[in-house]
């Protein structure tokens, strides 16, 4: 069986959220076939519950095709224009 392990960064929150021991991150992954009925589109939802009672929610949609380049603030910072 061939496998591939790659490091992937998926920005869930628009700005950095510090985490501390005792914080809990709940992740929900989903996949569905894209409109070509061959390749998957992925969705990721996150809920960060901090030890001091704060809650942060985030999500990301990662389509196989049709997604806009630089559509997330993190990617706009990584790949500036000009």
Whether the CA torsion 8, 13, 15, 16 is positive or negative: it is negative
Q: Is 47 a member of any domain?
A: yes
31 within a domain of the structure (yes/no): yes
50 lies in some domain: yes
The domain of 29 spans: 24-78
When pLDDT is cut at 50, 70 and 90, the band that residue 82 belongs to is low
For 46, residues 6+ apart whose C-beta sits below 8 A from its C-beta are 12, 13, 25, 26, 27, 28, 56, 57, 58, 59
Name the domain count of the chain. 1
Alpha-helical regions (H) of 20-81: 73-78
Residue 10 lies in a domain: no
Domain membership of residue 6 (yes or no) is no
Residue 16 lies in a domain: no
Mean pLDDT of the region 51-71:
88
Please give the model's pTM, rounded to 2 decimal places: 0.71
Residue 63 clears pLDDT 60, i.e. is over it: yes
Q: Which residue has the higher pLDDT, 74 or 60?
A: 60
Which whole number is the average pLDDT over 55-75?
85
């Amino acid at each position: 069986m061939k496998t591939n392990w790659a490091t992937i960064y998926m920005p869930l929150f628009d700005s950095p959220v510090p985490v501390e021991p005792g914080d809990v991150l709940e992740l929900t992954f989903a996949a569905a076939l894209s409109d070509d009925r061959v390749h998957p589109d992925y969705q990721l939802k996150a809920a960060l519950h901090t030890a001091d009672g704060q809650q942060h929610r985030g999500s990301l949609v990662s389509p196989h095709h049709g997604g806009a380049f630089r559509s997330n603030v993190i990617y706009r910072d990584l790949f500036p224009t000009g």
